[in-house]
Amino acid sequence: MVNKPSKPTDSLIGNDNWNIQLDRNGRLKHFLTVEGLGSEILTSILDTAESFANVNEQRVKKVPILRGKTIVNLFFEASTRTRTTFELAAKRLSADILNINISTSATTKGESLLDTLQNLQAMLCDMFIVRHSDSGAAHFIASHVAPHISVINAGDGWHAHPTQAMLDMFTIRRFKGDFGNLRVAIVGDLLHSRVARSQIHALNTLNTGDVRVIAPRTLVPNDIEDMGVKVYHDLAKGVKDADVIIMLRLQKERMQGALLPSEHEYYSEYGLTEDKLKAAKDDAIVMHPGPINRGVEIESSVADGPRSVILNQVTYGIAVRMAIMSMVLGREPEAEISGEEQ
Amino acid sequence: MVNKPSKPTDSLIGNDNWNIQLDRNGRLKHFLTVEGLGSEILTSILDTAESFANVNEQRVKKVPILRGKTIVNLFFEASTRTRTTFELAAKRLSADILNINISTSATTKGESLLDTLQNLQAMLCDMFIVRHSDSGAAHFIASHVAPHISVINAGDGWHAHPTQAMLDMFTIRRFKGDFGNLRVAIVGDLLHSRVARSQIHALNTLNTGDVRVIAPRTLVPNDIEDMGVKVYHDLAKGVKDADVIIMLRLQKERMQGALLPSEHEYYSEYGLTEDKLKAAKDDAIVMHPGPINRGVEIESSVADGPRSVILNQVTYGIAVRMAIMSMVLGREPEAEISGEEQ
Amino acid sequence: MVNKPSKPTDSLIGNDNWNIQLDRNGRLKHFLTVEGLGSEILTSILDTAESFANVNEQRVKKVPILRGKTIVNLFFEASTRTRTTFELAAKRLSADILNINISTSATTKGESLLDTLQNLQAMLCDMFIVRHSDSGAAHFIASHVAPHISVINAGDGWHAHPTQAMLDMFTIRRFKGDFGNLRVAIVGDLLHSRVARSQIHALNTLNTGDVRVIAPRTLVPNDIEDMGVKVYHDLAKGVKDADVIIMLRLQKERMQGALLPSEHEYYSEYGLTEDKLKAAKDDAIVMHPGPINRGVEIESSVADGPRSVILNQVTYGIAVRMAIMSMVLGREPEAEISGEEQ
């Protein structure tokens, strides 16, 4: 039943088999990446999240949609912030949630990852929220779980989060409406940010008018222009007349070698200050996935200023995660019964 | 929006702005200290706790009062016992609870305390239970959160707990009735015990007939007599005819320098033994906030004896915390809507 | 009230006072061991578990049987897997559950075990799930708690679990029906496995036709034949015509001295391979408590093969734990009221 697994690698991500995310009726079964999902699915996530955004504003922020379901936060690397958002989303859907830190538990008894997964699914858990330092880990797990289990990627490898990309889309739509006329600028370390790649896919799928990336030459992936974006190395030019500016976190711990001269120099060229923000439209919004490095990629007065929607992103993040969790588990049971899933 | 915060200091506690605890209608919004609260508020807490004491004795120890509310145990120092009491109280009120240990999470990514708070409130959490080693930390946090958030102090600095003081008052009232005719003796390290200070404020506010403190000279704060208590350095004289004896825990880890000759000598002079207890009234009760240092501040046979109400304090602690949590979150919503809060 | 406790020892287990597990009406109050329990109690556990096995297969895997009850996972040694099964069982019974890791909490403040227990019961907790490295620890705790508390042994000393033995019985009954005609072979390190001892007691009580144990001479307890089992040192002979083969985990960390030449040699003589499995009946089932040491006590293709019911054991483990938890807490309240319990 279990073959010796090959180590998950990026090659898993490169293939075209992303339809593992959909069941035979085209409904979302796993949520591993925004790549390969069409605009109807993405729009459906955003529309569903609207209803949960309203739930969160009610006095009783709880709906019984996933009552009796068991959701596992399966975290192979620590992230209190991300774990918390999923835990809150699960609780507000009335699900039961288990927090399992894998590095400190089963593996100390020499149990393999696949044995751990099989045990959890034998306990009739319904969903794994996976956070892992290896790119492709969530996809690998989704490929090996039983048909009744859904997997959500909470970040794999270079800080990738498809749920982060979707909450960004939700935030843009809430503040700016239709994507067609928008100019969106993504600023920062694109090389080490899979979230940027996911954002670009989502923005393209949602037919955004103009998507630009702004970064030093050393922090731009070679193939980025193939994704249909314009590349700028000058912040002032790149944010000119932008409707939306998405700042990326400088992942200091992921920087390899001498890609970057110094934090100070980075800030002077690519840090978003009040002065540099003036080049954007008057009603431009400023976004950041958090946590913020104040004075490194963004000036405090911008992060806390009237253009900033950074805390709105956090609020919407709960609603978007509730939407995705309810969609993958809330599918019609007939799909399972008729056995059409792999 | 966020100015660089000054480090929380005792000066925060010294000012007269304790009305931050009340909303404009005079109802409890935060619970940071008993100082500055009138007898109606304190009595209202005790009366509300009576109803929860009954809930706890029922077969189903759960009420739906805070269903859909999200409560965060925000612990900057570890305390399983205290965390557990708040977690139980929250669960019995049907709230969702998150346990967050700050020292091991966000700060490792260099996020500031205020950013962490703002993120949690953006997730639409409703209450922070704060435990911190700095005096004034809970007050500092309450001064900086959004209007919809309530803060409860679960101990700041020298082991201060206003909820501990209130459960002590509840215990005294349950066993002894009216405070007016009581003689209450507080014994031990008053210098390092903010709970004693809170107890004295609460006892005064509730018009206790006679409040005494008993301690070695080196462990009495200079200004204690300004609080209207009598100071004794002799245990036998101090507990003479007492109705209530509150033993303080000897905070060995907080003792600085040579304030104390030895545990053995402390015990021989200030430890409550069966023999010394004879000086109190025949029906005197013995209290202790726990955990007990047996043979240091109290003899085991007293701690476990018929006069001891130490375990009753633990039981009532859940009811009192349920009362305070339901009061700060259960206020009428109109208060928020009409915007009268700062 | 609390005398200085003697260290829990095996002598506690040797006495005949196992009726501490039953109340005066003969109903299960604690579940510490299968020894001393009659076939009606064991059968009642299995029958109750049947109904919960069905609950677990429903879309809403939750019943309100223990709503408002507070269950404490009191773990003195880490075991994510076992803790998780009890946590899931508690949540599916709608109980509130607290996870307390004793080694890192109260004892750091010098509080004794009995003080910790008394505090938790003063908080009106209803059940302690106890995991401890000392044999007899759960029994010791059950002897000292208040009458309203039930204790369940989640493993004490040499990896003993009575709940594990009962889920094994449940698995056998589900796949093989009546015990009377069965030949059951238990293979492995019997010396360090209290679970094997509990399995033998349960199999005997349920009138199993033929119970055998198979192990190297150095890993067989001296008194094992007194329990009415046949001892084999040859795997091929021992599993001949078996209906059920229970493999034990090789507790490498518990092996003392030179009881075992090498893992490789152990595997070649006592590891269950596809080849050796041929000696058993064609429809024999293979069981293992997990986690599996692949290539040490069992071949991967057997563990994952069609005869293996190892993952079924995990699934049934939730149902069996739900059954035991509901039985010990779900007794008629009159029993308590009339005060007949010690």
3-state secondary structure chain B: CCCCCCCCCCHHHHCCHHHHHECCCCCECCECCCCCCCHHHHHHHHHHHHHHHHHHHCCCCCCCCCCCCEEEEEECCCCHHHHHHHHHHHHHCCCEEEEEEHHHCHHHHCCCHHHHHHHHHHCCCCEEEEEECCCCHHHHHHHHCCCCCEEEEEEECCCECHHHHHHHHHHHHHHHCCCCCCEEEEECCCCCCHHHHHHHHHHHHCCCCEEEEECCHHHCCCCHHHHCCEEECCHHHHCCCCCEEEECCCCHHHCCCCCCCCHHHHHHHHCECHHHHCCCCCCCEEECCCCCCECCCECHHHHCCCCECHHHHHHHHHHHHHHHHHHHHCCCCHHHHCCCCC
Sign of CA dihedral B295, B301, B302, B308: positive
| Sheet (strand A96-101) strand order | A96-101, A70-75, A127-132, A150-156
Q: Are A199 and A186 in contact (CB under 8 A)?
A: yes
A312-322 pLDDT per residue, tens: 999 999 999 99
**Shortest Cα–Cα distance, C168 to chain B (Å):** 32
Confidence (pLDDT) at B253: 63
Report how far residue B229's alpha carbon sits from residue C248's, in angstroms, rounded to the nearest whole number.
Answer: 67
Best mutation target among A65, A115, A336, A337 (most C Cβ atoms within 10 Å) is: A115
Nearest by CB to B68, which of A62, A87, A305?
Answer: A62
Quote the tokens at residue A216.
């030093």
Q: Which residue of A has its CA nearest to C306?
A: A1
Residues of A in contact with C90 (CB under 8 A): none
| Dihedral pair phi/psi, residue B100, rounded to 5° | -125, 120
Residues of A in contact with B104 (CB under 8 A): 80
* Type of residue numbered A332: E
Confidence (pLDDT) at C332: 53
Length of chain C: 342
Contact residues of A toward B, CB < 8 A: 56-62, 78, 80-81, 84-85, 87-88, 91-92, 290-294, 300, 304-305, 311-312, 314-315, 317-318
Q: Which residue of A has its CA nearest to C59?
A: A68
Confidence (pLDDT) at A331: 66
Give the three-class secondary structure for A127: strand
What is the pLDDT averaged over residues A90-100? 95
Confidence (pLDDT) at C2: 32
Q: Which chains touch B (3 or more CB pairs under 8 A)?
A: A, C
pLDDT range class, residue A339, cuts 50, 70, 90: very low
Within 13 Å of residue A108, how many CA atoms lie on the same side as its CB? 10
Residues A215-232 as b or e (16 or more Cβ within 10 Å = b): bbeebbbeebeeeebeeb
> Domains of chain A, with CATH numbers?
11-161+316-334 (3.40.50.1370), 162-309 (3.40.50.1370)
Contact residues of A toward C, CB < 8 A: 1-2, 67-70, 96, 98, 100, 104-106, 109-112, 115, 118-120, 122-125, 333
Best mutation target among C101, C118, C119 (most B Cβ atoms within 10 Å) is: C119
Length of chain B: 342
Confidence (pLDDT) at B332: 53
Whether A17 has a pLDDT exceeding 80, the answer reads no
Q: Are C267 and C260 in contact (CB under 8 A)?
A: no
**Shortest Cα–Cα distance, C123 to chain B (Å):** 5
Nearest by CB to B59, which of C68, C105, C112?
Answer: C68
Confidence (pLDDT) at B262: 80
Encode chain C (342 residues) as per-residue pLDDT tens digits.
333 333 333 334 444 455 899 998 889 999 999 988 999 999 999 999 999 998 777 777 899 999 999 999 999 888 888 899 999 999 999 999 999 887 744 444 556 888 889 999 999 999 999 998 888 889 999 999 999 999 999 988 765 689 999 999 999 999 999 999 999 999 999 988 878 988 999 999 999 999 999 999 989 988 899 999 999 999 999 999 999 999 998 877 656 566 676 888 889 999 999 999 999 999 999 999 988 999 999 999 999 999 999 999 999 999 999 999 999 998 655 334 333 333
DSSP A261-318: S-HHHHHHHH-B-HHHHTTS-TT-EEE--SS--BTTTB-HHHHTSTTB-HHHHHHHHH
**Shortest Cα–Cα distance, B144 to chain A (Å):** 14
Confidence (pLDDT) at B109: 52
Report how far residue C12's alpha carbon sits from residue C75's, in angstroms, rounded to the nearest whole number.
Answer: 20
Confidence (pLDDT) at C12: 40
Reference A227, options A287, A186, A179; nearest CA is A186
Residues of B in contact with A291 (CB under 8 A): 106, 109-111, 115, 119
Report how far residue B206's alpha carbon sits from residue C198's, in angstroms, rounded to the nearest whole number.
Answer: 59
Residues B286-297 as b or e (16 or more Cβ within 10 Å = b): bbbbbbbbbebb
Confidence (pLDDT) at B2: 32
- Per the DSSP assignment, residues forming a β-bridge with C70 are C96
Residues of A in contact with C59 (CB under 8 A): 68, 333
Q: Cα separations (Å) of A138 from A3, A133, B12, B44?
A: 18, 10, 48, 52
Confidence (pLDDT) at A270: 95
Quote the tokens at residue A155.
């970040």
Confidence (pLDDT) at B193: 82
Nearest by CB to A61, which of B70, B98, B115?
Answer: B70
Label the pairing between strands B183-187 and B127-132: unpaired
Confidence (pLDDT) at A14: 40
Write out chain C in H/E/C secondary structure.
Answer: CCCCCCCCCCHHHHCCHHHHHECCCCCECCECCCCCCCHHHHHHHHHHHHHHHHHHHCCCCCCCCCCCCEEEEEECCCCHHHHHHHHHHHHHCCCEEEEEEHHHCHHHHCCCHHHHHHHHHHCCCCEEEEEECCCCHHHHHHHHCCCCCEEEEEEECCCECHHHHHHHHHHHHHHHCCCCCCEEEEECCCCCCHHHHHHHHHHHHCCCCEEEEECCHHHCCCCHHHHCCEEECCHHHHCCCCCEEEECCCCHHHCCCCCCCCHHHHHHHHCECHHHHCCCCCCCEEECCCCCCECCCECHHHHCCCCECHHHHHHHHHHHHHHHHHHHHCCCCHHHHCCCCC
Confidence (pLDDT) at A261: 67
Q: Are B194 and B160 in contact (CB under 8 A)?
A: yes
| Dihedral pair phi/psi, residue C23, rounded to 5° | -85, 180
- Per the DSSP assignment, residues forming a β-bridge with A213 are A186, A231
Quote the tokens at residue A45.
């996530």
B36, B41, B43, B45: CA torsion to nearest 10: -110
Q: Which residue of C has its CA nearest to B78?
A: C105
Report how far residue A147's alpha carbon sits from residue A62's, in angstroms, rounded to the nearest whole number.
Answer: 28
Whether A294 has a pLDDT exceeding 80, the answer reads yes
A222-278 pLDDT per residue, tens: 889 999 999 999 999 999 999 999 999 887 765 656 667 688 888 999 999 999 999
Q: Which chains touch C (3 or more CB pairs under 8 A)?
A: A, B
- Per the DSSP assignment, residues forming a β-bridge with C150 are C127
Label the pairing between strands C96-101 and C70-75: parallel
Confidence (pLDDT) at A58: 77
Q: Which residue of A has its CA nearest to B103?
A: A80
Residues of A in contact with C311 (CB under 8 A): 118-119, 122
Report how far residue C166's alpha carbon sits from residue C320's, in angstroms, rounded to the nearest whole number.
Answer: 7
Encode chain B (342 residues) as per-residue pLDDT tens digits.
333 333 333 333 444 455 899 998 889 999 999 988 999 999 999 999 999 998 777 777 899 999 999 999 999 888 888 899 999 999 999 999 999 887 644 444 556 888 889 999 999 999 999 998 888 889 999 999 999 999 999 988 664 689 999 999 999 999 999 999 999 999 999 988 878 988 999 999 999 999 999 999 989 988 899 999 999 999 999 999 999 999 998 877 656 566 676 888 889 999 999 999 999 999 999 999 988 999 999 999 999 999 999 999 999 999 999 999 999 998 655 334 333 333
- Per the DSSP assignment, residues forming a β-bridge with B97 are B71
Confidence (pLDDT) at B331: 67
Report how far residue B175's alpha carbon sits from residue B168's, in angstroms, rounded to the nearest whole number.
Answer: 11
Nearest by CB to B123, which of A60, A85, A294?
Answer: A85
**Shortest Cα–Cα distance, A11 to chain B (Å):** 30
Q: Are C272 and C302 in contact (CB under 8 A)?
A: yes
Report how far residue B326's alpha carbon sits from residue B66's, in angstroms, rounded to the nearest whole number.
Answer: 7
CB contact under 8 A, B81 and C105: yes
Which residues lie closer than 8 Å to A296 by C-beta, 6 or more apart? A250, A263, A266, A267, A271
Residues of C in contact with B61 (CB under 8 A): 68-70, 124
Nearest by CB to B84, which of C69, C100, C104?
Answer: C100
Structure ipTM over 0.90, yes or no: no
Confidence (pLDDT) at C253: 63
Beta strands, E only, chain A: 70-75, 96-101, 127-132, 150-156, 183-187, 210-214, 230-232, 244-247, 285-287
CB contact under 8 A, A100 and C84: yes
Quote the tokens at residue C212.
């055998």
